[in-house]
Chain A
Amino acid sequence: MDQESGAASAGSFISLNEHEQRYYSGLHGLCQADTSGKLSSSKVAELFKASQLPPESLHKVTEVCGAKRLGYFGTSQFYVALKLLAAAQTGLPIRLESVTANLPLPRFVGLKNEPEMRYSTVPSCIDAQGAQCGSAPGSLIWTPTDRNTFRHLEAGTDKKEPWSPPRSPCSSPPRSPLTYRSYPYAKQRNGVDPQIAYESKHSSRPIVQLEQHSSPSKYGTKPTVEHPAMAQASSVERLEQQAVSDYTEDDPWRITEEQLEYYTNQFKSLQPDLGALILGAVAKNFFTKSKLPIPELSHIWELSDVDRDGALTFSEFCTAFHLIVARKNGYPLPETLPPSLRPGFMQHEEDIPDTHEDPSIMQRLQPSLTSTKQDLKEESSKQDVKMLATSQDKVTLQLSAFPERPEPPQDLDPQMKTKTRPRSYSSTSIEDAMKKAEEPPTPPPRPQKTHSRASSLDLNKLFQQGAPGVKSGWLLPPPALPPRPTASQVSHFIGASEKTVQSKVQQPNFADFSHFREEEESSVKPEDQGPHSRFGLSTEDMTNPSQQDMTAASHNQPPQKPVRRKYLPESQNLETVPPPAVPFPPPAKTPQKLLPRQKREIQQAIRKNRETNAVLTRLNSELQQQLKVVHKERVTLESQLELLRPLAST
């Protein structure tokens, strides 16, 4: 982008801060640089005049910046000149050394002014409030200070946005902030201005922009109430006016409080549970209403979906929304996510239990696993240790896979989608523990090709049901909810033994997780809830569907999560383990108690798993046969089609 290169070249010998860069490049664009980089001297002259400096100062500036010598204003000369103008306006002498000073932005009176001189009525800056200079909260966010806005907006724009200078405004003499009419931003020196600016109804708030009256020229169509933002715009605008002084940092990418609140409301309108995820399609519809071009939305999505799961958590949603807002204000989209928009930042802002943040889940999981592992070592049950060890290894693998996306291990190449991709959430440690438990008896024919998020037989079942099943199954997979019809099909296969098998299969979970519960109750439960809630099902919601599912459910699913939920009410029936609400005895005592029970349970678990495996094998073979049949049908149909084609081609 030429602006950035211009800034870079200018910045090579003078240092411009971010806002200066943006501002200067905006001015640069305004002065209509031609292809050789020379700026139109008439425009530059106008600009200089607008700075309201005496002519001799202007001459001096021209001289010092080197344009006089060169005969034209190149980019670097222009930037130096702007710096010198700023210096002159603050009262510093016009010399090259001045450019290194920490200067505010130069200010210019409007050149070709539109009738709207609202901001000229703004009272002059007050030094005392200069301290709040950075205080127009997110005003930098709102202000389309960028040259893109020049391009977008015609001269007839009526958009004015306040802009608080980045720093050292206190030292500058009070001056009535004036705006260019031709420049879509104004400067201001105090916190009062934004309020007045807003009240003058040409606030730079993007919400206002989205409103009809704000900048029809920019958007062409008037975004009407179809955008949910509209409805809340006016109220939010008022809200924002009050919170002007919250702004503490002049970082345009920082989300302010009222913005956060607004995003929260928007999120809630899409998805009532703040801890849940917004699906890709839902988000797409929502963000398409913002009327940004699709490639940009695509880029925004790429930036904001940090865990790459095709859905947006609350923080991701805020990030995306914020980027859209910034983009609408004319800020260019960054190539990478700005640090203040990273999810870590968002987390600290909210109190939402970060169960939906999988890295945190994994991190909590690991301590729980390590502690349980240690406890298990005290017992002699090697199988559990092995299970946990392998599951812990898997968790570790996924933990490391989460922050970056390292190469998955070579040996897992065909399985890479199922196990090692960070988005394979279904393979949480509990599932792995379950899978490992299934393995010792006989290696089940695990359908590796299934989608990473599917539980073990989802795709097969979906295949049987065709499209409707696919749709429902697609949405449900991670919490390991089987689509109901498939459960019935499985029960058709399995027969009467299912119930007993189920209840017994539930026990292995119980066996596996009872000590989890006992030792790490709190950490397991959120972890349990985490994968549950990830796709929009709160744990409370889970109980009912899970119970229903479990009644007909196949143990083909990794029965862990729904089973456990169902478990809690049944816990009294089954074992002596007290309900989780009851505080457990300290870990020191439990190992001895667990030992005999553990063994018994493990043996039961093995037995159940064997039966499960047999059932699964049978099911698999039946499904394979069905697959073959369908293949044959398809082949015959294709051959028929081929036969008919010459007839049809006439």
Chain B
Amino acid sequence: MNTNMAVCIAVIAKENYPLYIRSVPTQNELKFHYTVHTSLDVVEEKISAVGKALGDQRELYLGLLYPTEDYKVYGYVTNSKVKFVIVVDSSNTSLRDNEIRSMFRKLHNSFTDVMCNPFHNPGDTIQSKAFDGIVSGMMVQTA
């Protein structure tokens, strides 16, 4: 599997502040931060769209949130309302939905590991090297 995938990966807490955000460094990060921020609206919309009563059946993977001409944004929400956002390059057409799902799954697993660490306080930014490693493995390799 090609490791060139995401251009930006972000983890956003339930209160909608970022716990972790990383972009491919060559490009101006502010643009990605902004993109992730605006994608939160779409995430919220998708969450609320599902029925209230059976919240537990809501699908975790939200799919393509919105495409722009440069890139596509995918979202994923956990049951504790922690959101993962992946931004991928639009030119990377070889990415299939399954691959995005698997990326989110890896992220979620890794995130759960971070949460399990008793030295990590929920709500802190994520400092884990293991998590960094997983994220780096998913980001586009810079030359």
Question: Which residues of A are at the interface with B, using a C-beta cutoff of 8 A?
Answer: 280-281, 283-284, 287-288, 294-295, 297-299, 301-302, 305, 308-310, 335, 405, 407-408, 410, 413-414, 416-417, 421, 447-449, 624, 627-628, 631
CB of B105 within 8 A of CB of A408, answer yes
21 CB-based A-B contacts, threshold 8 Å: A280-B116, A281-B118, A294-B119, A295-B127, A297-B119, A298-B119, A299-B128, A299-B129, A301-B117, A302-B117, A302-B129, A407-B105, A410-B98, A410-B101, A413-B60, A413-B61, A414-B57, A416-B108, A421-B112, A449-B79, A631-B52
Q: Are B53 and A628 in contact (CB under 8 A)?
A: yes
Other-chain contact of A309, B116, B119, B129 (Cβ < 8 Å): B116
Of A295, A410, A414, which one neighbours B59 at CB under 8 angstroms? A414
Whole-angstrom distance between the Cβ of A606 and the nearest chain B Cβ: 28
A407 to B116 Cα, complex, angstroms? 19
Chain A residues whose C-beta falls within 8 Å of the C-beta of B118 in the assembled complex: 280-281, 283-284, 301, 310
* Contact call B56/A448, Cβ cutoff below 8 A: yes
A-B pairs under 8 A by CB, number: 65
**How far, in whole Å, are A126 and B51 apart by their CA atoms in the complex?**
81
Q: Say if the beta carbon of B109 comes within 8 Å of chain A.
A: yes
* Bound complex: CA A308 to CA B111 (Å): 12
- Residues on the B chain within 8 Å of A288, using CB: 119
**Measured between alpha carbons, how far is A414 from B112 in the docked complex, in Å?**
15
| Inter-chain contacts of A297 with B (CB < 8 A) | 119
With a cutoff of 8 Å between Cβ atoms, the chain A residues found around residue B128 in the complex are 298-299, 302
When C-beta atoms are compared, the residue in chain B nearest to A298 turns out to be: B119
Of chain B, the residue at the smallest CB distance from A450 is B56
A153 vs B20: C-alpha distance when bound (angstroms): 34
Q: With A302-B129, A407-B102, A449-B79 in contact, do A414 and B60 touch (Cβ < 8 Å)?
A: yes
Q: Indicate if the CB atoms of A416 and B116 lie closer than 8 Å.
A: no
CB under 8 Å from chain A, chain B span 75-126: 79, 98, 101-102, 105-106, 108-109, 112-113, 116-120
Contact A301-B105, Cβ < 8 Å, known A413-B60, A449-B56: no
Q: How far apart sit A134 and B65, CA to CA, in the bound complex (Å)?
A: 61
- Whether B105 contacts A416 by the Cβ 8 Å rule is yes
Q: B58 to nearest A CB, angstroms?
A: 9
Q: How far is the CB of A503 from chain B (nearest CB, A)?
A: 33
A624 to B102, CA, bound (A): 32
B50 within 8 A of A: no
Quick check: A405 and B98 within 8 Å, CB to CB? no
Q: Are A298 and B105 in contact (CB under 8 A)?
A: no
Residues of A within 8 A of B112 (CB): 417, 421
Contacts of B130 in A (CB 8 A): 302
Given known contacts A299-B129, A421-B109, A310 and B116 CB-to-CB distance under 8 angstroms: yes
> For A413, what are the chain B residues with a Cβ–Cβ distance below 8 Å?
60-61, 101, 105
Chain B min CB distance to A470 (Å): 14
A297 to B121, CA, bound (A): 13
How many angstroms between the C-alpha atoms of A631 and B106 in the bound complex?
32
Give Cα A335–Cα B108 distance, bound, in whole angstroms. 21
Q: Which residues of B contact A281 (CB under 8 A)?
A: 118
Q: A405 to B107: give the CA distance in the assembly, Å.
A: 12
Which B residues are in CB contact (< 8 Å) with A447?
56
Whole-angstrom distance between the alpha carbons of A2 and B36 in the complex? 35
| A298-B116 contact, Cβ under 8 Å, with A413-B60, A447-B56, A631-B52 | no
Q: How far is the CA of A417 from the CA of B102 in the complex (A)?
A: 14
**Cα distance A448–B59 when bound, in Å?**
12
Specify which chain B residues have a CB less than 8 angstroms from the CB of A407 in the assembled complex: 102, 105-106
Q: Smallest CB-CB separation from A448: which chain B residue? A: B56
Q: What is the CA–CA distance of A626 and B134 in the complex, to the nearest angstrom? A: 41
- What residue of chain A has the Cβ atom nearest to residue B59's Cβ? A414
**What is the 8 Å Cβ interface bit string for chain B, positions 31-58, against chain A (1 contact, 0 not)?**
0000000000000000000001100110
Contact status A305-B116, CB under 8 Å = yes
CA A410 – CA B57 in complex, angstroms?
A: 16
Contact status B113-A308, CB under 8 Å: yes
* A447 nearest in chain B by CB position: B56
Chain B positions within 8 Å of A283 at CB level: 118
Contacts of B98 in A (CB 8 A): 410
The reply to whether A308 and B116 contact each other, CB–CB distance below 8 Å, is yes
Cα distance A287–B117 in the bound complex, in angstroms: 13
When C-beta atoms are compared, the residue in chain B nearest to A309 turns out to be B116
**Smallest CB separation, B132 vs chain A (Å):** 11
Contacts of B106 in A (CB 8 A): 407
Measured CA separation A585–B105 after assembly (Å): 48
- Closest beta carbon of chain B to A639's beta carbon, Å: 15
Smallest CB separation, B29 vs chain A (Å): 23
Among residues of B, the one whose C-beta sits closest to the C-beta of A417 is B112
Query: How many Å lie between the Cα of A624 and that of B52 in the bound state?
Result: 12
Nearest neighbor of B56 in chain A, beta-carbon distance: A449
Shortest 10 CB-CB contacts between residues of A and residues of B: A280-B118, A449-B56, A284-B118, A310-B116, A298-B119, A297-B119, A301-B117, A302-B130, A295-B127, A294-B119
B102 partner residues in chain A, CB cutoff 8 A: 407
Residues of A within 8 A of B117 (CB): 280, 298, 301-302, 305, 310
Q: Which residue of B lies closest to A631 (CB)?
A: B52
- Nearest to B108 among chain A residues (CB) is A416
Task: Report Cα–Cα, A309/B59, bound state, in Å.
Answer: 25
Complex Cα distance, B132 from A341, in Å, reads: 23
- Chain B positions within 8 Å of A280 at CB level: 116-118
Chain A residues whose CB sits within 8 angstroms of the CB of B108 once the complex forms: 416
Closest chain B residue to A624, Cβ basis: B53
Please state if A301 and B119 are interface contacts (CB–CB under 8 Å). yes
Q: Closest residue of chain A to B53, judged by CB?
A: A628
**What residues of A have a CB within 8 angstroms of the CB of B59 in the complex?**
414
B121 CB → nearest A CB, Å: 9
| Contacts known (A410-B101, A413-B60); A298 close to B53, Cβ less than 8 A | no
* Whole-angstrom distance between the Cβ of A617 and the nearest chain B Cβ: 15
CA distance A405 to B106 in the complex (A): 9
B-chain residues with CB within 8 Å of residue A298 when the two chains form the complex: 117, 119-120, 127-128
Report B-chain residues with C-beta under 8 Å of the C-beta of A299. Answer: 128-129
Known: A283-B118, A302-B128, A421-B109. 20 other contacts (CB 8 A): A280-B117, A280-B118, A281-B118, A284-B119, A294-B119, A297-B119, A298-B127, A299-B128, A301-B117, A301-B118, A301-B119, A407-B102, A410-B98, A413-B105, A414-B60, A417-B112, A448-B56, A627-B53, A631-B52, A631-B53
Do the beta carbons of B109 and A335 come within 8 Å of each other? no
Please, which residues of chain A bring their CB within 8 A of the CB of B105? Answer: 407-408, 413, 416
**Closest CB-CB distance, A4 to chain B, in whole Å?**
16
B101 near A302 with CB under 8 A, answer no
* CB-based nearest A residue for B113: A308
